Amino acid sequence: MPSTGRAALLTLLAMLAFAANSILCRLALTQTAIDPAGFTLVRIAAGAASLWLIARATGHAKAGPGAGAGSWRGAAALLAYAAAFSFAYLTMTAGTGALLLFGAVQATMILVGLSRGERLVPLQWGGLALALGGLALLLAPGLSAPDPLGALLMAAAGAAWGVYSLLGRASRDPIATTAGNFLRATPMAAVLALLAAWAGPVFGGGLRWDQGGLVYAVLSGALASGVGYSIWYAALPALTAARAASVQLSVPVITGLAAVLALGERITPILAISSLAVLGGIALVIVGKTRRA
């Protein structure tokens, strides 16, 4: 188990890496010629290579599909998240996208818990209502409302990541499992890229590559995803479940601030109020779970 100081540093680095995924994707799709399907393929392939190398270097020998790590269901959920994430960022700002993604992830996990018989205390119901109200405000028609299709895709990405997280809860070796899922998802992403090349405008204008876009995609896959997840798994043993959930509330905030600096985005009043409602509501759900335990 890492020391308190080391765990804090690892946690900070992991949150920065998670936020970087949104920034890198948005940079690639707005400032280079790469298409969403191509970005997804390179991101997943680079993530698979990075995670496999990390798994081998750290003694996680069973890190590939042939070794039994990961699952095809996990890989499908991973691809669904990554593809919807990339296509959503064609039209969404990084800050809005990160908030919607995070809200959808948490909502999915809460709803699955309820379907399995979990019960919420009044404080948690209040937090859930506050978070949903924040999302409703964010998506309400108006000048600052995100593109409906982009919002739907990002919500789908969040739901897929929620499912992916739930599938991985029972893993005894999360690094090997994640490496196996990324390796399995790579040929799936290649099929998506081929569909993009064949279908053209339906898939974001066809398959396109350029050097800058490839660099952003590799950084997103190898560093922000592969190294980021590995750092997070290294920090987790020193964190309680509530603290691990709580620190992830910082990711949309970090993303929004980074988007101002890297992309010139504005933090609108609607986005600020929605962020407070969504993140505050989820915090109440987490606090309620801790008290109930």
pLDDT at 291: 58
Q: Could you tell me the pLDDT band of residue 287, with boundaries at 50, 70 and 90?
A: confident
CA dihedral 167, 157, 253, 20 (to 10 degrees): 90
For residue 232, give its domain range: 4-292
Question: pLDDT grade, residue 204 (50/70/90)?
Answer: low
**Residue, of 201 and 209, whose pLDDT is higher:** 209
The pair of three-digit structure tokens given for residue 237, joined into one six-digit string? 């043993």
Judge whether residue 288 has pLDDT over 60: yes
Three-state DSSP class for residue 118 = coil
Structure tokens at 165: 């997280």
Given a contact cutoff of 8 angstroms between Cβ atoms, the answer to whether 292 and 118 are in contact is: no
Confidence at residue 257, expressed as pLDDT on a 0 to 100 scale? 93
The pLDDT of 114-134, averaged and rounded, is 88
Q: What is the mean pLDDT of residues 107-130?
A: 87
196 pLDDT tier (thresholds 50, 70, 90): confident
CB 285 within 8 A of CB 106: yes
pLDDT of residue 243: 79
pTM: 0.89
State how many domains the chain has.
1
| Per-residue pLDDT reduced to its tens digit, 89-103 | 999 999 999 999 999
| Model pLDDT, residue 67 | 53
287-292 contacts, C-beta under 8 A, 24 or more apart? 287/123, 287/127, 287/242, 288/120, 288/121, 288/123, 288/124, 288/127, 289/124, 289/242, 290/242, 291/121, 291/123, 292/121
